[in-house]
Structure 1
């Protein structure tokens, strides 16, 4: 069974590339971030034409997450995180699919630092941790995946000096991410690539793609019940180099026994 995550950076603008990727790689579950559309504008019919069913949590022009499943309907468990009732950002969606609890997240970027956006990022991470603890207590096979907007280690970026002032690399961001791992969750891509050097994002600016100036911010955190089943993982890097591509590449995780 393959579960994948893909920050599509605008589902309408990237729809041909997204459908192309789905048909070429055929993940059982695909978690999407930054769909950047209101609920009524989500192109569910286009996915159904190729056999995928979806749930989504949209927002006009910003954010937005979705979960697609091949040949079955994801059963929604939760949308949004508790803790800040006034938070209207569409950043969290959780479902049961193929016997696995799948949470799709788009964690706040947090720039500029310091400032209210960074404070919101850290609060959101604590709210995420609270929900992940609840999931862990259920002792179910679970995957929390998406764009975390955190570069966990220096070896997860082309240049730690170049990104030193960015919210993605601040000690507070990294500490909050480390606390998720300390709670018993496994960083799938890091487990299979302990030396780092694997990128999932390349900026559109300054020739980052051409220079391979990327970093790793798209992650999958696995519950113990899923970590034991992790067979392989990787990045579909070639899709980042295609015409009108997202600035992220899809990341996939393959599990045995499911």
Structure 2
């Protein structure tokens, strides 16, 4: 079973890419971020034609998350329970016995700003919720655009992306470590210790061609799924296409 996270950076623009990629990569479950579509405009019919059912939560221009699956989803949760937030950044559902939690983590703008403080509050709320989710659903996958590069080797230049920089600051990395300490494992690192493997590249400064990237799109799996995880990786191919998202799909495979 292939489970994938992909920040498509506008589903309206990237729908042809998504349809092409679904046909070739053939995932079983896909978590999308930054769909940037109101629910009334979500391309549900087109995705049914591609063989996928969808649950989604969107808003105009910003944010937006969805879960696509070959099997129907149940027990859908939108947003972090008890956390007052109008931004559509979270959707969870149960598919084929797996609890899928799709996160589009706050960017944070810059260290020390109000948006940075909001990011840390958001991550604290996510931690409390995921602790309960794990207790209820042992077979749990938390995936998405985390907007945090876990370690120095997940950045193209650790001297720039340091403990004072947004996406790599000490507080952000500690918040991610607290999430993992609940019993969640970075599936990619279960299979590769390689440096310089990224999932996001800035559109500017020929970022992709020069491999000036970060690994911020993660697939975290629970303890009970660790033995079932046979592979994990990042599919760079869609980033080479015309008018691509700035993110590439991050995937994990379970038996």
TM-score normalised to the size of structure 2? 0.97
Instruction: State yes or no: 1:249 paired with 2:239.
Output: no
Structure 2 CA distance for aligned equivalents of residues 170 and 181 of structure 1 = 17
In structure 1, stretches of 5+ residues that fail to align are none
CA contact (8 A) 1:113 1:166 kept: yes
CA contact (8 A) 2:99 2:137 kept: no
Q: Which residue of 1 aligns with 2:60?
A: 60
Structure 2 CA distance for aligned equivalents of residues 103 and 139 of structure 1 = 11
Out of 175-184 and 54-63, give the one that drifted further.
Answer: 175-184
1:139: Cα distance to partner?
Answer: 4.7
Alignment CA distance shift 1:152-1:172 (3 Å): same
Q: Which residue of 2 aligns with 1:81?
A: 80
Q: Which residue of 2 aligns with 1:49?
A: 49
1:251: Cα distance to partner?
Answer: 1.1
Q: Which residue of 1 aligns with 2:30?
A: 30
Q: Which residue of 2 aligns with 1:90?
A: 88
1:160-171 alignment runs, 5 A limit:
160-164=158-162, 165-171=164-170
SS in 2 for 1:73: coil
Structure 2 CA distance for aligned equivalents of residues 243 and 195 of structure 1 = 28
CA contact (8 A) 1:64 1:90 kept: yes
CA contact (8 A) 1:141 1:226 kept: yes
In structure 2, stretches of 5+ residues that fail to align are none
1:228: Cα distance to partner?
Answer: 1.8
1:140: Cα distance to partner?
Answer: 2.3
CA contact (8 A) 2:78 2:91 kept: yes
SS in 1 for 2:80: coil
> How many residues were matched structurally?
254
Structure 2 CA distance for aligned equivalents of residues 139 and 12 of structure 1 = 33
CA contact (8 A) 1:204 1:247 kept: yes
Q: Which residue of 2 aligns with 1:119?
A: 117
Q: Which residue of 2 aligns with 1:133?
A: 131
Instruction: State yes or no: 1:226 paired with 2:217.
Output: no
Q: CA RMSD in A?
A: 1.1
Q: Which runs of 4+ in 1 moved over 6 A?
A: none
1:219: Cα distance to partner?
Answer: 0.4
